[in-house]
Structure formats: structure tokens, C-alpha cells
């Protein structure tokens, strides 16, 4: 009789442990799915910008890549904030580093100057074509680092 009670208790404990472990795996799978969805939405926020940067050549392209990045920055920043809130801490740090490299917001700039000097690394004296390539390169680098 005592053996049956112990067997029943072990069986119940095993079932509870199995349910707990299954719930934990299900929760982790749901978090991973949300993270992947947020990463996809983040990448899609840059689609229009990349299309503008690779579009037809116009006569008045002087500084246009810089202006495209400045115009689209609010949409990019909103996607970044949304992505950052969903990811776990260690991924947030990686995304933050990639974002700093992309936007190059300098902490030494005054707050009112940050918006003006953001993306200054794209301004290149080489050529307008080079500026467009630099802008696309920085976006692609950001997207590659966030996709991992």
C-alpha cells in the first residue's frame, strides 16, 4: 500500500513538473516569436528609405542622402524603441550599440544640435553618389546587426 502511494505521489509530481516545464517552453517560444516579429517590423521601417537611396538619379542630389535619413529618422526611431522594449537585456545592449553606430548621436553635442548633426558621417566630400552608398551601407549594417 505504501509503495502505491509513493508511486502516485511521484507520478503527480512528475506530471506537475512536466506541465511547468511545458509552460516555460511555451512562454519562451512566444517571447522568441514576438522578438522575431519586432525585428521584421524594424527592418520593414527602413524599406522606403533604402528605396529612396537606390532610386533614380536626380540633378539636385547635393546632400540629398543626408536629408533622406533626417526625414525618415522619426519612423526609424519609433521602430527602434518598439524593438528595444521587446528584446531581452543582452540583445538590447547589442541593438543599442548598433543604433549608436547608425545614427552617430554624439553625447557631446547640445540637445538642439543633435538633430542637426545626426548622420553627419554620411556627408562625404567624395561625391553625392558616395553619400548615397554610405547611407545605404549604414542602414544595411544596422539591419544585419539587429537580425542576428
Average pLDDT over residues 2-23: 72
Using one digit for the tens of pLDDT, what is the confidence trace for 101-136? Answer: 888 766 655 566 666 667 776 766 666 677 888 888
Range in 89-93, 112-116, 144-148 the model is least confident about: 112-116
Low-confidence winner among 32-46, 50-64, 125-139 (lowest mean pLDDT):
50-64
Supply the DSSP string of 52-105, one letter for each residue: HHTS---S--TTHHHHHHHHHHHHHHHHHHHHHHHS-HHHHHHHHHHHHHHH--
Residue 48 has pLDDT above 80, yes or no: yes
How many whole angstroms separate alpha carbon 135 and alpha carbon 93?
Answer: 23
Q: Where are the domains of the chain?
A: 34-147
Q: Which set of grid coordinates corresponds to residue 135? A: 547611407
- pTM to 2 decimal places: 0.71
Measured in degrees and rounded to the nearest 5, phi and psi for residue 106 equal -90, 125
Amino acid at each position: 500500500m505504501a509503495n502505491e502511494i509513493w508511486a502516485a505521489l511521484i507520478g503527480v509530481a512528475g506530471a506537475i513538473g512536466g506541465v511547468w516545464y511545458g509552460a516555460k517552453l511555451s512562454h519562451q517560444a512566444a517571447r522568441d516569436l514576438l522578438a522575431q516579429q519586432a525585428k521584421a517590423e524594424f527592418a520593414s521601417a527602413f524599406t522606403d528609405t533604402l528605396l529612396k537611396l537606390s532610386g533614380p538619379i536626380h540633378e539636385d542630389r547635393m546632400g540629398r542622402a543626408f536629408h533622406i535619413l533626417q526625414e525618415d529618422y522619426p519612423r526609424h526611431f519609433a521602430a527602434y524603441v518598439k524593438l528595444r522594449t521587446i528584446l531581452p537585456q543582452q540583445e538590447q545592449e547589442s541593438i543599442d550599440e548598433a543604433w549608436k553606430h547608425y545614427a552617430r548621436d554624439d553625447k557631446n553635442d547640445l540637445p538642439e544640435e543633435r538633430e542637426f548633426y545626426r548622420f553627419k558621417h554620411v556627408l562625404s566630400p567624395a561625391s553625392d553618389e558616395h553619400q548615397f552608398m554610405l547611407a545605404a551601407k549604414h542602414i544595411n549594417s544596422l539591419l544585419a546587426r539587429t537580425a542576428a
